[in-house]
Amino acid sequence: MRRAAPCAVRGLTALCGAGALLAAGHVGRAQDVSGGGPAQAALSAEGGQIYKDICQACHLADAKGGGGAGAVIPALAGNPRLADAGYTVGVVVKGRAGMPWFHDMLTPREIAAVVNHVRTHFNDFPGEVSEAEVVAAIAASGVASPD
């Protein structure tokens, strides 16, 4: 079963409708096909939507970051730190300073999707992150699982 990803995010219900509509557009195709290729494509589209719904508010649409003195948002585009997939997953799972954590807002699948999006769409780093790797990172980090 496929769920409407952005609706899982508490406090962002205004964005939920748009995300659900988009997700609904993918349902037919995602269920009609099997195998890695199309499934990966669906996951990639899901990551792009999550980025637009959540991350873009801070990191901006072009992922170049921004902010004035005292409120600097790092660029994700062309950011060599994102070459380390585990590091990227860790920041999104646990948060850091002004960066919110998402382990209790997004599912592991959604975290994998958005991490893959920022690592491949705004950069060209190899190595897709799987849902299972995010589950393992959450377990290893000791943060509470979603309620």
Work out the burial of residue 124: count CB atoms within 10 Å of its CB; fewer than 13 is exposed, 13-18 middle, 19 or more buried.
exposed
Contact flag: residue 15 with ligand HEC (CB under 6 A): no
Contact flag: residue 91 with ligand HEC (CB under 6 A): yes
Q: Where are the alpha helices (DSSP H) in the chain?
A: 13-32, 36-50, 56-59, 85-94, 108-120, 131-141
- Cβ atoms of 50 and 5 within 8 Å: the answer is yes
Nearer of residues 38 and 98 to ligand HEC, judged by Cβ: 98
Contact flag: residue 119 with ligand HEC (CB under 6 A): no
Choice from 22, 43, 112, 114 touching ligand HEC (CB under 6 A) = 114
Contacts to ligand HEC from residues 51-70, by CB under 6 A? 54-55, 57-59
- Cβ atoms of 92 and 102 within 8 Å: the answer is yes
Residues that bind ligand HEC (CB under 6 A): 54-55, 57-59, 73-74, 76, 79, 81-82, 88, 91-92, 96-100, 102, 114, 118
